[in-house]
Amino acid sequence: MTQTAPRAPGLDTLRSVAIVAVMLFHTYDFHGAGTLPASVAPVATLGWMGVDLFFVLSGYLIASQFLKPYLAGQRPGLWTFYRNRMFRVLPAYGMVLALYYGWPLWRESPHLPPLWELITFTQNLFANFSSDHAFSHVWSLCVEEHFYLLFPLIVLPMMLKPSLNKTLTVIGALVLAGMCLRGLILFQLLRPLADSGQSFGLAYMRRIYYPTYSRLDGLLAGVALGLVKTFKPTAWRALGRRGHALLAAGVCLVGISVYLFWERFDSVTGASALGIVIGPPVLSLGLGCLVASAVSSNGWLRAKIPGAQLLATLAYSMYLTHKELIHLVDLWFPSIAQGAMYQWLGVYAVSCLAAATVLYLCVERPFLRLRDKGRIRA
């Protein structure tokens, strides 16, 4: 029987922060600052960083789980890994996808990407956001699916002859490749558009923000933590005694990232250009420090926060449904959508929790239990 690892309250806290940040960002994206309290609106503009936090968490957890059998002299099972991921991701995703195609009212925009893109998790590679807007937030799930597919295929052959230098080389090469690619797009596409007086925002989103090949930094930061935890226990324990220092370092690096990304849609020179090229690894390193602090022995982030475990448990279902709920709350409660800020936020929050709870209890949890029964039989 597979033993379930105890929950880490700090990771629940970070996961809940990530999903709330993403929800606030999309609320701001739909309505502007008018729907949010003045103190929250500036933070909401940075809520997109919640996705990067999800990537770091995913890289850390997946790497830790997949690499664990090596400590017992065993090899992880490729089919077992893919099976577990399918049971975790596909049922709830399939239900939401069915709602998009079976209930047009569910769509936050009348336009949908081609079904084949959504089925193959390639929407982030071919997205045309001038027309295909509904379910656009699935781009980050596409990145995660590509990671789930490729990570074991890279690790298994590398572990035939494990080498620290080889591992560091691969991780460093992927980070450097992402920087070079973003720099190339900056100088070959974005700068010419800006110099000719054209908007470069859509080009930035399509060619840099959404594609998997330029969004690996967060996942790699998480994988690096998982590698240290698994194969360098002495270093991991030493890291775990520096929770406060890791928190301070993480806050500083995220703060630098905020500066680098602050004018990303307004300028492709100076700090903004630097942010396009090196901003993702700087942000990912900062978020990696926060994750390490959350699982340390003395960091403040490791404290148990009331409600965090609930939000963390519902995070995936909330991620799938929260953007659609903005549209439905506006449609069904037009009177409060016109300016009753706190009422709208309250109705939206309750609606998101209710929808996510139903999706979790009726779809996610039954398939997770089915997955775990298969583990016990194995």
Query: Domain map of the chain by residue range?
Result: 9-377
With left for phi above 0 and alpha for psi between -120 and 50, is residue 76 left, alpha or beta?
beta
Q: What confidence score (pLDDT) does residue 375 get?
A: 63
Quick: pLDDT tens for 125-181.
Answer: 987 766 557 899 999 999 999 999 999 999 999 999 988 889 999 999 999 999 999
Average pLDDT of each block of 10 consecutive residues along the chain (378 residues)? Answer: 64 97 91 74 89 98 95 92 96 98 92 92 83 84 97 95 90 97 97 94 93 97 97 95 97 97 92 96 98 94 94 98 94 77 89 98 96 66
Q: What confidence score (pLDDT) does residue 338 get?
A: 66
Q: What confidence score (pLDDT) does residue 339 get?
A: 64
Q: What confidence score (pLDDT) does residue 41 get?
A: 79
Q: What confidence score (pLDDT) does residue 373 get?
A: 85
Q: What confidence score (pLDDT) does residue 48 get?
A: 96
Q: What confidence score (pLDDT) does residue 316 get?
A: 98
Q: What confidence score (pLDDT) does residue 378 get?
A: 40
List Cβ neighbours of 160 (8 Å cut-off, separation of 6 or more): none
Q: What confidence score (pLDDT) does residue 336 get?
A: 77
Which pair of tokens denotes residue 81?
A: 């890994």
Q: What confidence score (pLDDT) does residue 131 get?
A: 54
Q: Compute the distance between CA of residue 57 and CA of residue 55 in angstroms, rounded to an integer.
A: 5
Assign 3-class secondary structure to 104-130: HHHCCCCCCCCHHHHHCCCHHHHCCCC
